[in-house]
Amino acid sequence: MKQVALGIDIGGTNTDFAFIDREGTILEEDRISTVNFQEPEVFVAALMEKVKLMHKKITEPIEIVGLGIGAPMGNINKGTIEYPADLPWKGIIPLAELIREHTELPILVTNDANAAAVGEMIYGAAQGMKNFVVITLGTGVGSGIVVDGKLVYGHSGFAGEVGHTIVRPGRTNRECGCGRMGCLETYVSATGLKRTLFKIMADSIEPSELRDTSFNAMTSLMIAEAAERGDILARRAFEHTGEMLGLKLADVVAHTDPEAIFLFGGLTLAKDLILEPTIRSFEENLLFVYKGKVKLLPSALNTRSSALLGASALAWDQYDKSRE
């Protein structure tokens, strides 16, 4: 019988889900609105009903090995979502417990960066690696840390919040959504790139095609396209972003000494614009014992379906380990 995992990616607007086999092939996928459900119980009931309908579309017999769920502030120790900023639900949502009323299968919940790390290990470029880190560069910055072949969960289930390490200490620095100042994610996320561009536009008097676009209308894609066309301020914004990221990734290495760091998420679509200055700054800032030993690479997961792949990989990883 064909074995599949059910991958579920809960986002602020929509929740995607799919049956995915051990090789990372999506057999069927569908989505449901997240934002339309005020109560998590009703959301879960509707989601599981949609999963049943999706199951019926598959003609061959399948065995589901487990459910892997990526969600903002997903706590892998407890199966909860805790104080999510971007979901319609407040406080601590006992997600695994709610799903447990609909299925007996193993249920794993974690945040998208941890899911991406397991996805990289199961399907991507980290196959066979024992120690690596995945950094997600999207609206925010997330991270998933793997030590000795296992995702680091931490004591309270929230390991890997490298986006909230502080790069610029002091009260006069950039405000972060977490309520503190100077976090990495205020500099090196897609939003951080935009903030850096606006700082550069403020400090410099050089012309730029981006001076006609408002803060709210600006996207990292627009900055990347301007940089490709040679816009000096856009290029400088990528340069600064990469410098800051490389510096901080050198610090990440000094914690768990990984074999590789994978960069994942929207900002990595800018390819060399972000990779080149990041790698340069990373190598420059590494402690001598690590220099030349740690690979800094783009993720090998397809970005469109990577969140789903990552989520399903949680279930596959658990299944693989249960049979060792």
Q: Which residues bind its own copies (CB under 8 A)?
A: 73, 82-83, 130-131, 145, 147-148, 150, 152-162, 164-167, 169, 178-180, 247, 250-252, 254-259, 285, 287-290, 293-294
On whether the CB atoms of residues 182 and 167 are closer than 8 A, the answer is: yes
Backbone angles phi, psi at 104, to 5 degrees: -95, -5
Nearer to its own copies, 83 or 228 (CB): 83
User: 93: which strand partners?
Assistant: 81
CB contact set of 228 (below 8 Å; sequence gap of 6+): 273
| Least gap, CB of 161 to its own copies (angstroms) | 4
Residue placing its CB nearer to its own copies in the complex, 62 or 166 = 166
Q: How many other CB atoms are there within 10 angstroms of residue 69's CB atom?
A: 27
What's the 3-state SS for 37-99?
Answer: CCCHHHHHHHHHHHHHHHHHHCCCCEEEEEEEEECCCEECCCCEEECCCCCCCCCEECHHHHH
In the complex with its own copies, the residue whose CB is nearer, 21 or 257, is 257
Neighbour count for residue 289 (Cβ, 10 Å): 9
- Coil, strand or helix at 219: coil
What's the residue count for the chain?
324
Count of beta carbons in the 10 Å neighbourhood of residue 201? 17
- Residue 301, Cα to own-chain centre: how many angstroms? 12
Min CB(142)–its own copies separation in Å = 11
Is 285 or 299 the residue whose CB approaches its own copies more closely?
A: 285
**Separation between Cα atoms, residue 114 and residue 305, nearest integer Å:** 15
Looking at the Cβ atoms of 28 and 257, the one nearer to its own copies is 257
| Torsion angle of C-alpha atoms 104, 106, 109, 112, degrees rounded to 10 | -120
Residue 254 CA to residue 190 CA, distance in Å, equals: 25
Of 138, 236, 251, the C-alpha closest to 188 is: 138
Nearer to its own copies, 24 or 79 (CB): 79
Q: How far is the CB of 167 from its own copies (least distance, A)?
A: 7
Q: How far is the CB of 148 from its own copies (least distance, A)?
A: 7
Shortest distance (Å) from residue 172 CB to its own copies: 15
**With respect to its own copies, which residue has the nearer C-beta, 36 or 156?**
156
Comparing CB distances to its own copies, the nearer of 127 and 156 is 156
Task: Choose between 69 and 141: whose C-beta lies nearer to its own copies.
Answer: 141
DSSP string, 22-39: TTS-EEEEEEEESTT-SS
Q: How far is the CB of 168 from its own copies (least distance, A)?
A: 8
| Residue with the two structure tokens 């001598």 | 288
Q: How far apart are alpha carbons 266 and 217 in whole angstroms?
A: 17
| In the complex, minimum distance from the CB of residue 4 to its own copies, in angstroms, rounded to a whole number | 29
Minimum gap (Å) between residue 100 Cβ and its own copies: 24
The least CB distance from residue 39 to its own copies, in Å, is 24
